[in-house]
Each structure stands twice: as structure tokens, then as C-alpha cells.
């Protein structure tokens, strides 16, 4: 329907202006914030990495380091082959600064960014530590959306000091693709009339919900770009992919009816961590679980959540997801209990090879004021499925390319909150 033909007051996708912000090489940018000498240099931030060691996996690499082929989820050992440590070769520019992950610091920086975004949005939905959607319909207009996007970037840069990429579009999925389109320091504005043309040349894998497996299946059908997909026969797509086929078709045309909604309170909080392959050393599993239990309990405390259920998740080869939980008579905030119950529940798996372990607290209660939020909280993710990214937000599909990288990750401490599945 052409613009202007809708009934007054009936909102259409064209009425909305959605802005997606994704910070550039976020952890590395945070490190640069407190260490001037890292600016403009290759920086690698390692998860499970300690200074001078080879262990762990790359959480992120600065864009300078990416030029050497270093990327997220790569083993530190491989990264070091491509980019040796600057500390060991001070005069060699083909080297990088390696730093261990410091979540607490990144959370602080993220909170500063969030404060600014909160001021700039009608509604704000945080997706992850470095990513958020803003509905800015009431704050700007398409004619000046580019200036607004620039303003958002500048405020983050001036007040926090970290670079961000911004996409502005009439819906969430297009805004996300737009923010990623010209990284780093990108600003891409896609007004409603340009959405189809903007999407058309992109590979199908760039479309929300289409991961490597589906992308391959589509390629086999001769569908390689979003444009091909938009023009494909809906009946063929439906026969091949069921209802998802309709969804793909809509998305390829840039239709996405989701509204930018703030997050409600989570129903559970959990953390999990993958081993490099399957480990048989139960002590290592216990040690990892201890840390996870501490992290989960701390997070619950920070969010002022009490929990009644404490559980563990154990992934055994090939990819069997086992969950065990214990429910207490009343809600508590007791980190020691989280640890002891988690370790008790793990006992059963002593002697088995283990790929991944997770700890979770559920049956959360918040202060009375927040209770309604809790009840109304609905989330489509599948936190218990073992797809760590799926609970991060409904925004990433089971099949997104990141999944592959995450599952190959050596020791990614991943927050799969909020996962909404309150089993």
C-alpha cells in the first residue's frame, strides 16, 4: 500500500523509525579506553586467557587485528601464530596486545552507553552487552534520521569514549543489518522506500533467521541473495521449509512486525561454559561449575533477584543436554547454596565425558513493585536447548553463523539470560 493510504491512527511499519546500535570490537574498545597505548594498534581480548599463556579463545579482536585473520572464537594459540605478542617483540608492528576478558569493566562501560541510549529512545531494548534497539519514531523523522544517528554515535563517543555502528530502518531486522553494513564506525540509514533495494543484493545468510544450513539449502535451490528470496515462489518455499518459508519470504522483503519492547524481568539467570572438546577430568568440571555458580549468584544479587530453584546443565557427547534442578521451600539469596547444590547435582556425572557445563537459578522473585513485570514477561528463546545464543535474544536464530563460532569456542563464558523458559 502506498504511503498516505493508510487509515489515520493505524500504525504501519512505515510509521516507525528503529535504530540499532552495535559497539565496534567492544571488549577491545573498552581496553583501549583505559590503556591509551592500545589505540590504533592490534588488540586481542581472550576469554580464559591469562597474560603470557596460550590458553583460551579470542572473545574479540580489534579491526587492526582482524586484518591478520584473527577473529572471535579462534583459539589464542592460533591467534598468536598470526599475531605474536607485542610484549615479546616490542619493535615489530605485526604483533598485537593481548588482554584477558574483564567482564566487570565491560559491564560498567555498557551501563554508561545504555544510560545515553535510554535518554535518546522512546523505548529501548538491550540485546546484549554491546547491542540495543531504539524506537526513535517520536524523536526524529526520516528526513533528518541520518543526523539523529550521527548524534547517537557522537554522544557515545564523547561521553563514554567507545566507537559504535548505527543502523536506522523502519524495523528491527533491517536496522540490525544496516548497523552491520559499514562497520566499524558505520552509520547506515535505510528509509522505508529503500528497504527492498537495500536488502536485495545481500546474501541470504544476512537475513535474520537464516543460518548456514538454511543458506546452503537455499543456494541449492538457486536462491543466493535476499532479492532472489524475495522473488522466490512462496509455495516452493513453504513446501521446503514449512511456515519458516513464509517467514523467510517476508523478511527478505524487509517485513518485520516486531516492536521494540523493553526487556522484562528474566525468569531465570544462567551461565554456561564450554570445554575445548569433551573433558573427562571431573575436577576441572567442578572447578568450572564453582566459578559459574559464583557468577550466577552474583548476577542475581546485582539484579536484586531471589531464587527458589538451583540447577545445572551438563552437555555430554555428542550433544546431549542434561538438566537437573532442586527447588527450595522458599526464595533465597545465598551464593554458597548455589555452589553446594550445583556441585551436588553434578556428582551424578562424575566419570562421564563433558563438553559443557552450566549453572542456573530460576523461580526468581523481585521486589513487589516488579512482580507484574515478572508475570508479564514473555520470551521466545529456548534457554535450555543448549544453543547459548538463542536465549540472548529472540533476535538471533538457532542457525545464525555465530552459533557455529560459539560452539567451537573453547571457554566462552556466555550469559544466556534471560531465557524465559522456567522449567
Of 339 and 415, the one with the shorter C-beta distance to Mg ion is: 415
Longest dimension (CA), the chain: 67
Given ligand DCP, Mg ion, none, residue 155, with its beta carbon under 5 to 8 Å by kind, binds none
Q: How far is the CB of 20 from ligand DCP (least distance, A)?
A: 11
Q: How far is the CB of 335 from Mg ion (least distance, A)?
A: 31
Q: How far is the CB of 181 from ligand DCP (least distance, A)?
A: 12
Given Mg ion, ligand DCP, none, residue 27, with its beta carbon under 5 to 8 Å by kind, binds ligand DCP
Find the residue with minimal CB distance to ligand DCP: 60
Of 72 and 140, the one with the shorter C-beta distance to ligand DCP is: 72
Query: Which residues of this chain interact with ligand DCP, rule CB under 6 A?
Result: 22-27, 47, 59-60, 72-73, 130, 183-184, 405-406, 409, 412
Query: Which residues of this chain interact with Mg ion, rule CB under 5 A?
Result: 22-23, 26, 130
Q: How far is the CB of 297 from ligand DCP (least distance, A)?
A: 21
Given ligand DCP, Mg ion, none, residue 406, with its beta carbon under 5 to 8 Å by kind, binds ligand DCP
To the query of whether residue 131 is one of the catalytic residues in this protein, the response is yes
Rounded Cα distance between 21 and 131, Å, is 6
Of 32 and 412, the one with the shorter C-beta distance to ligand DCP is: 412
Given ligand DCP, Mg ion, none, residue 59, with its beta carbon under 5 to 8 Å by kind, binds ligand DCP
Of 59 and 325, the one with the shorter C-beta distance to Mg ion is: 59
Return the exposure string of 148-170: e unless at least 16 CB atoms fall within 10 Å of the residue's CB, then b.
bbeebbebbeeebebbbbbbbbb
| Cell numbers at 78, concatenated | 592460533
Q: How far is the CB of 27 from ligand DCP (least distance, A)?
A: 4
Given Mg ion, ligand DCP, none, residue 339, with its beta carbon under 5 to 8 Å by kind, binds none
- Which of 340, 336, 309, 343 has the alpha carbon at shortest distance from 325? 309
Active-site pick, 31, 126, 131, 415: 131
Given Mg ion, ligand DCP, none, residue 73, with its beta carbon under 5 to 8 Å by kind, binds ligand DCP
The alpha carbon of 124 is separated from its chain's Cα centroid by a whole number of angstroms, namely 16
Of 60 and 363, the one with the shorter C-beta distance to ligand DCP is: 60
The β-bridge relationship of strands 307-316 and 320-332 is antiparallel
Q: Three-state SS across the chain?
A: CCCCCCCCCCCCHHHCCEEEEEECCHHHHHHHHHCHHHCCCCEEEEECCCCCCCCCEEEEECHHHHCCCCCCCCEHHHHHHHCCEHHHCCCCCCCEEEEECCHHHHHHHHHHHHHHHHHHCCEEEEEECCEEEEECCCCCCHHHHHHHHHHHHHHHHHHCCCCEEEEEECCHHHHHHHHHHCCCCCEEECCHHHHHHHHCCCEHHHCCCCCHHHHHHHHHCCCCEHHHHHHCCHHHHHHHHCHHHHHHHHHHCCCCCCCCCCCCCCCEEEEEEEEEEEECCHHHHHHHHHHHHHHHHHHHHHCCCEEEEEEEEEEECCCEEEEEEEEEEEEECCHHHHHHHHHHHHHHHCCCCEEEEEEEEECCECCHHHHHHHHHCCCCCCHHHCCHHHHCCCCCCCCCHHHHHHHHCCCCEEECCCCCCCC
Of 26 and 97, the one with the shorter C-beta distance to Mg ion is: 26
| Cell numbers at 59, concatenated | 572473545
Given ligand DCP, Mg ion, none, residue 31, with its beta carbon under 5 to 8 Å by kind, binds none
Given ligand DCP, Mg ion, none, residue 345, with its beta carbon under 5 to 8 Å by kind, binds none
Q: How far is the CB of 249 from ligand DCP (least distance, A)?
A: 27
The alpha carbon of 208 is separated from its chain's Cα centroid by a whole number of angstroms, namely 13
Of 26 and 248, the one with the shorter C-beta distance to ligand DCP is: 26
Q: How far is the CB of 389 from Mg ion (least distance, A)?
A: 14
- The size of the chain, in residues, is 423
Of 17 and 45, the one with the shorter C-beta distance to ligand DCP is: 45
Q: How far is the CB of 15 from ligand DCP (least distance, A)?
A: 29
Active site residues: 131
Amino acid at each position: 500500500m502506498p504511503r498516505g493510504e493508510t487509515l489515520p491512527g493505524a500504525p504501519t511499519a512505515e510509521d516507525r523509525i528503529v535504530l540499532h546500535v552495535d559497539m565496534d570490537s567492544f571488549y577491545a574498545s573498552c581496553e583501549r579506553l583505559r590503556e591509551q597505548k592500545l589505540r590504533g594498534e592490534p588488540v586481542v581480548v581472550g576469554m580464559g586467557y591469562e597474560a603470557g599463556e596460550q590458553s583460551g579463545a579470542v572473545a574479540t579482536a580489534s579491526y587492526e587485528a582482524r586484518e591478520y585473520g584473527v577473529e572471535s572464537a579462534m583459539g589464542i594459540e592460533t591467534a598468536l601464530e598470526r599475531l605474536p605478542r607485542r610484549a615479546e617483540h616490542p619493535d615489530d608492528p605485526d604483533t598485537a596486545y593481548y588482554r584477558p576478558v574483564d567482564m566487570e569493566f565491560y559491564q560498567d562501560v555498557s551501563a554508561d552507553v545504555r544510560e545515553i541510549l535510554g535518554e535518546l529512545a522512546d523505548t529501548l531494548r538491550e540485546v546484549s552487552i554491546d547491542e540495543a534497539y531504539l524506537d526513535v519514531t517520536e524523536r526524529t523523522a526520516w528526513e533528518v534520521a541520518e543526523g539523529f544517528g550521527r548524534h547517537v554515535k557522537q554522544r557515545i563517543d564523547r561521553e563514554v569514549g567507545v566507537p559504535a555502528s548505527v543502523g536506522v530502518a523502519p524495523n528491527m531486522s533491517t536496522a540490525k543489518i544496516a548497523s552491520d553494513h559499514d562497520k566499524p564506525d558505520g552509520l547506515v540509514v535505510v528509509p522505508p522506500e529503500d528497504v527492498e533495494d537495500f536488502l536485495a543484493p545481500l546474501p541470504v545468510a544476512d537475513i535474520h533467521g537464516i543460518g548456514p544450513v538454511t543458506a546452503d539449502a537455499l543456494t541449492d535451490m538457486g536462491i543466493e541473495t535476499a532479492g532472489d528470496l524475495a522473488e522466490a515462489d512462496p509455495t516452493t518455499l513453504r513446501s521446503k521449509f514449512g511456515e519458516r518459508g513464509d517467514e523467510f519470504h517476508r523478511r527478505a522483503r524487509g517485513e518485520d512486525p516486531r516492536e521494540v519492547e523493553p526487556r522484562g524481568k528474566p525468569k531465570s539467570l544462567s551461565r554456561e561454559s564450554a570445554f575445548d572438546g569433551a573433558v573427562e577430568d571431573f575436577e576441572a568440571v567442578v572447578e568450572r561449575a564453582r566459578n559459574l555458580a559464583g557468577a550466577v549468584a552474583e548476577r542475581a544479587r546485582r539484579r536484586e533477584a531471589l531464587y527458589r530453584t538451583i540447577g545445572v546443565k551438563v552437555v555430554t557427547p555428542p550433544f546431549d543436554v542434561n538438566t537437573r534442578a532442586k527447588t527450595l521451600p522458599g526464595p533465597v539469596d545465598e551464593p554458597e547454596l548455589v555452589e553446594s547444590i550445583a556441585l551436588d547435582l553434578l556428582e551424578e556425572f562424575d566419570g562421564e565425558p563433558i563438553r559443557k557445563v552450566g549453572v542456573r537459578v530460576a523461580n526468581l522473585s523481585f521486589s513487589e513493585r516488579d512482580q507484574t513485570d515478572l508475570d508479564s514477561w514473555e520470551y521466545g528463546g529456548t534457554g535450555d536447548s543448549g544453543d547459548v545464543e538463542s536465549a540472548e535474544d529472540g533476535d538471533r536464530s538457532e542457525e545464525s553463523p555465530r552459533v557455529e563460532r560459539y560452539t567451537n569456542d573453547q571457554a566462552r563464558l556466555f550469559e544466556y539470560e534471560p531465557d524465559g523458559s522456567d522449567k
